[in-house]
Amino acid sequence: MDELALVKAAAPAVSGPDSAVRERAERRLESAITSAVHAPPERAVQWWRRGSVRRVAWAGAAATALIAMLVVSLPFAPSPAAGALERLADLAVNQERITPTPGEYVYTRTVGTEIRSWEDVETGIEFSYQVSFSRQAWIGSDGSGRLVEAMHSPRFLSEADEDRWEAAGSPALFPEGTRTDEAFDPGGLAFIDLASLPTDPAQLARAIESRSVVSGPPGELSTLLIIGDLLRETYAAPRMRAALFEVAAMLEGVQLIEDASDAAGREGIGVAVVQGDQRAELIFSRNTSALLGEEVVVNEDTVLNSSTYFGPVIVQSTEEKP
């Protein structure tokens, strides 16, 4: 009896995973083996603890010169959040690709709120306030397009903030204007070339964590928000979208938000990461895996920013709205 037969004989009888689960497990295994060379040891251990497969190491009597690594794919229950993200990955990989042809544009509408801060460097007076905003983006594959952005409804976070604003001379809260409408020639719009990124989850995770794809501070919370950036106002291929969900599933401490819904009342699957006194949450459609909204909260109750997304869809001009 060979070594593989011995391992199978020792293992309890289980029903094998279906082809989709097996393919995902094999892909994760290959990704983990590739990343183990580059990842810190503790990172590799965390991946194996959270992964979809288990590995069994066996050494025979002649193992002084050779160690045989045998991998047996077995059903394994990931964390609730990781399981939900893996289901979204399965959904995303089967979605139709959104690809604009020349003359077409990817349209996305965003509404939300954000907290802004103002400071006079000479006097040291500073205050904070919340504004509502809207954004419409038409983005072509050549970097041409149009952006329409508007801000309104400023609100001071406290009476003290309003007093400091008055002490600073009541400066304009929207110095750039309440509405902008700008057209862009080819190459004028900055967009991320997702086609150049790896679809292997481990390689993609390293690229995102290096902050070479999208800049940002270190940490899992920032990584989750960058994943959101790569899924909105973009036309990522299905395999890339699936890989992004798999990277999110690998984040340390990612949490599932039960009964999540965006500001428009659309129910979906919510995942969150807590880092220090901040908490970031992304909400995805159960039916399409599309990003519905995101939110960053500090000190459990102060919303730093909140965005709700509609789209993306293909349109024929920078004037067309779905």
Could you read off the pLDDT of 237-247 as tens digits, one per residue? Answer: 899 999 999 99
pLDDT at 65: 38
The stretches in the chain having pLDDT less than 50 are 1-21, 24, 31-75
pLDDT at 258: 80
* Cα–Cα nearest to 213, from 178, 174, 247, 238: 247
- Give the largest Cα separation in the chain, rounded: 86
Q: What is the DSSP letter of 261?
A: E
- Return the domain boundaries, the chain: 3-77, 105-315
Specify the amino acid at residue 298: V
Backbone angles phi, psi at 197, to 5 degrees: -90, 150
pLDDT at 234: 77
Under 8 Å CB-to-CB from 10, ≥6 apart: which residues? none
Could you read off the pLDDT of 97-145 as tens digits, one per residue? Answer: 777 888 999 999 999 999 999 998 888 999 999 999 999 999 998 889 9
Angle between helices 238-249 and 80-93 (to 10 degrees): 170
What pairs with residue 20 in β-bridges?
Answer: none
DSSP 84-120: HHHHHHHHHHTSPP--PPTT-EEEEEEEEEEEEEEE-
* Cα–Cα nearest to 142, from 103, 98, 181: 103
Distances (CA, A) of 313 to 34, 107, 143, 321: 36, 5, 16, 9
What is the rounded CA–CA span in Å between residue 162 and residue 43? 46
pLDDT at 252: 94
pLDDT at 21: 43
User: DSSP H helical segments within the chain, as ranges?
Assistant: 3-10, 19-36, 41-50, 80-93, 159-167, 201-209, 220-231, 238-249
